[in-house]
Amino acid sequence: MKSIDVCLSPELMHLYDVKDRTVVVVDILRATSCMVTAFAHGVESITPFSDLTACQSMKSKGYITSGERDGKKVDGFDRGNSPFEYMGEDIKEKKIAFTTTNGTQAIEKALGAKKIVIGSFLNLSSVVKYLLFGENSVLIICAGWKGKVNLEDTLFAGAIMEKLRNHIEADCDAPLIAQHLYNLAKDDMMKFLSNSSHVKRLNRLGIQKDIEFCLTPDQYSIVPVLDGTGKLTIK
Amino acid sequence: MKSIDVCLSPELMHLYDVKDRTVVVVDILRATSCMVTAFAHGVESITPFSDLTACQSMKSKGYITSGERDGKKVDGFDRGNSPFEYMGEDIKEKKIAFTTTNGTQAIEKALGAKKIVIGSFLNLSSVVKYLLFGENSVLIICAGWKGKVNLEDTLFAGAIMEKLRNHIEADCDAPLIAQHLYNLAKDDMMKFLSNSSHVKRLNRLGIQKDIEFCLTPDQYSIVPVLDGTGKLTIK
């Protein structure tokens, strides 16, 4: 039987052996939600960068640059970290260079995995199907907030665990922790998260609409996958 | 208002600034449960060692040596990691040198804190009172299992959080995660933990009686505190 584990913070990634696993990277608020939204609106590829300058330099090569630090769009970048910035006709067939506080760093820590895919509530069922029909064991890596564990990424890991519970076994306690939390939260995730430190931080930035959208399951039926050249596509 | 944070794994300790905090080290199964039991039965002091050889060398200085690795007593040590080994008359007024897989490493990572105390369900209410009447903010450090997050230490952190919820505010999401889990589990922690990887591992070692005991709140009214010379006492 395949197994599933959950890495609750990128700072714990050295404890996990990913070489035979499909790794799902999740940063619900808001990097991976943005990426999924962008692909659903016709973007050709997204190249993640952990370094801000390297990301910005891609503008001269015709890329749309997306940059976020501490929840805010970075000066000089074309787009920030709201999914609503990735819904226009103008991104169709474009390439994006993307850097965020936590999400792109998490992708970097997953390098070496058999496969790396992008998860969010927006494409939850598609990710579940991808994992169910794939042959690899699974590791979900939660981007967290500057290394610390956060609730919303943990809830996503729990949703995956809950939906795969009859098909895949938990390696460790972290998937069980996530699953319990998801089952507590699933009927009203917005309310459940209202005390979360990250949600409070983002509410101060006035992005309640983003948060509600990012917590809505199954808006899109796509699974972005990292290819051998370091870019995400949905082929 | 004082605040409380929870470090779910010793591998995340570099993210926390402990110098103004009281740190509670917890390794429910079974290091900190053993330490609390030993003090309740009259031990004079416990000196934690992360290194096995350094710990064993204390025997020549008249210490009782306690050593556990991977859940089992280490050959050549006087005692292992069952609380029932720390209940006899023969440990009264003795000094113990103690090393375990996770617990003593967690104590080492807490060095530099304003105060370091030892927590377990066995002395839960005493730890709560200590934190309530102390002036410092709090960090609970869960020993986990070889760096990975475990359920039972997280539940203890949640119990502290739940009992202090009207007096102290959460810094981050980890205390909220722990509190939710504790409220789910508190009516039957043994049942809640029955699927936990660590409990399964320990059940294979035939120590169900230890586990039940370690999950029983308020058996003892003491709080072991680390002094400036690196030993725990209850003065």
Q: What is the pLDDT of residue B203?
A: 78
Q: What is the pLDDT of residue A6?
A: 98
Distance from CA of A229 to the nearest CA of B (A): 31
Q: Tally the C-alpha atoms within 13 A of residue B196's C-alpha that lie toward its C-beta.
A: 25
Which of B149, B173, B174 shows the shortest C-beta gap to A173? B149
Structure tokens of B199?
Answer: 């409990």
pLDDT digits (tens, 9 = 90+) for A38-81: 999 999 999 999 899 999 999 999 999 999 898 889 999 999 99
Confidence of residue B2 (pLDDT cuts 50, 70, 90): very high
Give the confidence band of A197 by pLDDT, cuts at 50, 70, 90: confident
B172 contacts chain A (CB < 8 A): yes
Q: Which of A19-33, A71-85, A126-140, A202-216 bottoms out in mean pLDDT, i.e. has the lowest? A: A202-216
DSSP symbol at A89: G
How many other CB atoms are there within 10 angstroms of residue B112's CB atom?
12
Put simply, whether A230 touches B (Cβ < 8 Å) is no
Provide the β-strand partners of residue A72.
Answer: A69
Secondary structure letter of residue A226 according to DSSP: E
Inspect the interface and report whether the beta carbons of B171 and A15 lie closer than 8 Å. Answer: no
Q: A147 and B195 in contact by Cβ < 8 A?
A: no
Q: Is A11 on the interface with B (CB under 8 A)?
A: yes
- Say whether residue B82 is in contact with chain A using an 8 A CB cutoff: no
> Is A180 in Cβ contact with B173 (below 8 Å)?
no
pLDDT tens digit sequence for B72-106: 899 999 999 999 999 999 999 999 999 998 888 89
CA of B144 vs chain A CAs: smallest distance (Å): 10
Q: What is the ipTM of this complex?
A: 0.94
Considering only alpha carbons, which residue of chain B is nearest residue A172?
B197
Q: How crowded is residue B111: how many other Cβ atoms within 10 Å of its Cβ?
A: 11
Is the pLDDT reported for residue A198 higher than 80?
Answer: no
Whether the Cβ atoms of residue A123 and residue A218 lie closer than 8 Å to each other: yes
Mutate to test the interface with B, among A173, A192, A201 (most CBs of B within 10 A): A173
Tens of pLDDT, residue by residue over B8-60, are 999 999 999 999 999 999 999 999 999 999 999 999 999 999 899 999 999 99
CA A116 to chain B, closest CA, distance in angstroms equals 22
Instruction: Tell me what the pLDDT averaged over chain A comes to.
Output: 95
Nearest-angstrom CA–CA distance, B152 and B199: 9
pLDDT tier at A127 (50, 70, 90 boundaries)?
A: very high
pTM: 0.95
d(CA B79, CA B74): 8
Q: Which residues of A touch B12 (CB under 8 A)?
A: 9, 11-12, 147-149
Q: Measured between CB atoms, does B105 come within 8 Å of chain A?
A: no
- Residues of chain A contacting residue B151, judged by C-beta atoms under 8 Å apart: 173, 176-177
The C-alpha atoms of residue A234 and residue B230 are separated, in whole angstroms, by 56
Please name each of the domains of chain B with its CATH number: 3-230 (3.90.1560.10)
Residues of B in contact with A196 (CB under 8 A): 173, 176
Tell me the torsion sign for CA atoms A173, B14, B178, B130: positive
Q: Which residues of B touch A174 (CB under 8 A)?
A: 148-149
